[in-house]
Amino acid sequence: MSTGLSTLHEEDPTFIFQGDPELRQTLIFGQGELHLKIISERP
């Protein structure tokens, strides 16, 4: 999963992800709800 997220970040630097060891989750950040929706629907 990290490889795919890294590729997305390389293509779109406004897309950011980071792991939270306390929550044991990967958090993603973008410019807004629409931005994240478009990224999540990419093939």
pLDDT-based confidence at residue 1 (cuts at 50, 70, 90): confident
25-34, pLDDT tens digit by residue? Answer: 999 999 999 9
* AA identity, residue 25: Q
The CA-based dihedral angle spanning residues 5, 8, 32, 40, taken in that order and rounded to the nearest 10 degrees: -70
pLDDT of amino acid 38: 95
pLDDT of amino acid 43: 82
Supply the pTM of this predicted model: 0.76
| Residues 26/5, Cβ–Cβ less than 8 Å | yes
